[in-house]
Structure 1
Amino acid sequence: MKINDPGMLPKKKNSNDRVYLTVGFITSGVLAVLSAAFAVYYHPVARRLVKRKHFQNANAIGINFRQFTFQELHEATNGFSKTIGRGSSGKVYSGVLSSKDIHIEIAVKKLEKAIEKGEKEFVTELKIIGRTHHKNLVRLLGFCIEDGHQLLVYELMKNGTLSDFLFGKEEKPIWIQRAEMALGIARGLLYLHEECETQIIHCDIKPQNVLLDANYTAKIADFGLSKLLNKDQTKTITNIRGTMGYMAPEWLRNAAVTAKVDIYSFGVMLLEIICARRHIELSRVEEETEDDDLVIIDWVLSCLISGKLEKLVGHDSEVLDDFKRFERMALVGLWCVHPDPILRPSMKKVTQMLEGTVEVGIPPLLMKG
């Protein structure tokens, strides 16, 4: 049969039609799939589902601790039934993770305003916190991102907050414990400020945000307000504010936040620790005398200026036997609470002064007095 036989022409036409028809079906199918994918991606509900899939494997996004489901944490906390605290960014619940052989007591923080903090930002912070390891920081065990919920899972601290330890009983806690706790907190802050790959400014240092483990080791908690700074940054702008009484004066002027805001807060807390007294004692309003100021900074300052530092101690024989250390810590506290952040020492210098490896000079506040 000849290839150019006229009888073959109709068959050739039909063959071409089939080719065109097949190509048309394929093209239409591809367009339909692309259109569907486009619609799914830009539909708000579908986008949330897609995002949730992104976090199914924590290791895949560089987070080296466990990702829990919301149901797991709901069961572990018995429906979030026992509140053990409230931080700057949400309530904290106690719970137990159980398996055949182990029972781990945990604290679960349920973040409020989770929608305002996007998942990307949340994961970025998790990566940073996940790389922090220090004996004076509360250890993060895992997290949950699901259906608009953001939760953090921590080791449970058996002895509660530093605030309860200092002010929850009539008798003062023993001096040696208080002094060691102050030094431990200083070392934890030094780690956050100067020893992490990314500098972390806590922004809300206070006794309620320091927890005590079974051995009464002080551990800094609640990174809900923390600001992260890259190595080439020294300050950042934030609308977030800490807690009145512990807030550095520059925050009230809406100045940029530096690590010096933590130094100020630590200074207030240090004076509270060594005196076992709150930063402000409203209960003393009626019984106040000239030598007993309501605000702890003023009280310590006036006692030092008048040469009556022993009034801060009362009849505490333990402190009187270690009075040089007490005086050194009081001076460090006054260095930390200077109104001018430039004159406040770094956390490294603070730690060295508390350890006694660096001499403590006369604080500018005393010279002014």
Structure 2
Amino acid sequence: MPDMRLPVNPHSLEIESAQACELACLNNCSCMAYAYDGGCSVWEGDLLTLQQFSQSDSGGGNLFLKLSASELSSSGSKKGSLIDATVGVILGVVLLLGSVISLFWWWWRRNVFGPLNQTGGFFVQFSYRNLQIATKNFSTQIGSGGFGCVFIGTLPDSTVVAVKKLFEGLNRGEKQFRSEVSTIGMIQHINLIRLHGKDLEISDWKTRYQIACGTARGLTYLHQKCRDCIIHFDIKPENLDPEFCPKVADFGMAKLVGREFSRVLTIMRGTIGYLAPEWISGAAITAKADVYSYGMMLFELISGRRNSDL
């Protein structure tokens, strides 16, 4: 309290600084006020004859009152409550806007894609517009072949997919693609997935052994575990993922053979260097054609080089 006539009956302390005088009052539970004007004065109990001078008068001093924490926190708590309320409102608005944006994005994706219709119990049917959105207009190509290119995409449920887009004007490519889709749709196995290929630059024998066993497991599943026997007709060492996990892929040449049949007559199909002798002799083809191709792949896996320069 500035410009005050100091109360009567002070207690004088031999202290030579204002900070020490303040500390002496704070440490004394009975001290109600203090003043420092070259000397330290403290008051205990009631403060009598307290009066504030006008600005034109002189002779007043500064009196420091000691108040309880509850008296000091009233205004601070109101200010703190106001700040808390403001922060709460801002956070609420941000969360509400985030929820609205997320809901709108989900609604937009769902309505653009529309209901995903299953056909034949196996497949989900997408429109061309669906696939354009999923692949960002086919912007990221991850593979290519003789009949089309493969692009990476993301479905509304965040599933990452590979989308194959055929070259225009290739009727044969569409027929092969439909055959591949029909075959893949009927099987599911850890070693039967469509992935990128790599060459045979592998030095680790443990890795080579794992590739040989994994490919064999995939073929066994095709030949013996499916409802219908599936002859792949194009086994070769291009189907390894970045971790060298073997994947039997490219089912465009595959053929389903009923369990009541042990062999099939069909046009020649496959890759030079892996074709079984039956194709040349004109004999009926069995699942052993895949075993021959697998054997040729094993030779390459062991030797570390191709069986042909073609």
TM-score computed with the length of structure 2 as normaliser:
0.54
The answer for the alignment partner of 1:201 in structure 2 is 231
Report the CA distance shift for 1:62/1:242 in structure 2 as closer, same or farther (over 3 A). Answer: same
Aligned counterpart for 2:153 among listed residues 96, 106, 112: 96
Residue deviations 1:208-249, cap 9 Å, x none?
2x232x543211111000011011112222224211101112
- TM-superposed CA distance for 1:273, in Å, is 1.2
Aligned counterpart for 2:123 among listed residues 65, 69, 92: 65
Aligned counterpart for 2:246 among listed residues 218, 232, 235: 218
The answer for the alignment partner of 2:164 in structure 1 is 109
Local SS of the residue matching 1:131: coil
Residue deviations 1:337-367, cap 9 Å, x none?
xxxxxxxxxxxxxxxxxxxxxxxxxxxxxxx
The answer for the alignment partner of 2:207 in structure 1 is 177
Residues 180 and 254 of structure 2 are in contact (CA less than 8 Å); yes or no, is this contact kept in structure 1? no
Is 1:231 matched up with 2:286? no
Partner Cα distance (1:87, 1:215) in 2: 22
Q: Superposed, which structure 2 residues align to 1:331-350 within 5 Å?
A: none
Residues 153 and 161 of structure 2 are in contact (CA less than 8 Å); yes or no, is this contact kept in structure 1? yes
Give the structure with the larger helix fraction: 1
Report the CA distance shift for 1:63/1:126 in structure 2 as closer, same or farther (over 3 A). Answer: farther
Q: Which runs of 5+ in 2 are unaligned?
A: 1-114
Local SS of the residue matching 1:265: helix
Is 1:76 matched up with 2:119? no
- TM-superposed CA distance for 1:80, in Å, is 3.9
Is 1:265 matched up with 2:293? yes
Report the CA distance shift for 1:239/1:78 in structure 2 as closer, same or farther (over 3 A). Answer: farther
Supply the RMSD in Å over aligned alpha carbons: 3.1
Q: State the AA in 2 paired with 1:265.
A: S
Q: Which moved more, 1:77-86 or 1:243-252?
A: 77-86
Is 1:136 matched up with 2:197? no
Report the CA distance shift for 1:205/1:67 in structure 2 as closer, same or farther (over 3 A). Answer: same
Q: State the AA in 1 paired with 2:216.
A: A
Residue deviations 1:286-335, cap 9 Å, x none?
xxxxxxxxxxxxxxxxxxxxxxxxxxxxxxxxxxxxxxxxxxxxxxxxxx
Partner Cα distance (1:97, 1:106) in 2: 6
Report the CA distance shift for 1:118/1:179 in structure 2 as closer, same or farther (over 3 A). Answer: closer
The answer for the alignment partner of 2:306 in structure 1 is 278
Q: Superposed, which structure 2 residues align to 1:271-350 within 5 Å?
A: 271-280=299-308
Partner Cα distance (1:128, 1:67) in 2: 16
- TM-superposed CA distance for 1:281, in Å, is 5.1
Report the CA distance shift for 1:83/1:253 in structure 2 as closer, same or farther (over 3 A). Answer: farther
Identity %: 40
Q: Which runs of 5+ in 1 are unaligned?
A: 1-55, 139-153, 283-369
Local SS of the residue matching 2:251: coil
- TM-superposed CA distance for 1:84, in Å, is 3.5
- TM-superposed CA distance for 1:129, in Å, is 2.9
- TM-superposed CA distance for 1:108, in Å, is 2.2
Residue deviations 1:20-43, cap 9 Å, x none?
xxxxxxxxxxxxxxxxxxxxxxxx
Report the CA distance shift for 1:74/1:236 in structure 2 as closer, same or farther (over 3 A). Answer: farther
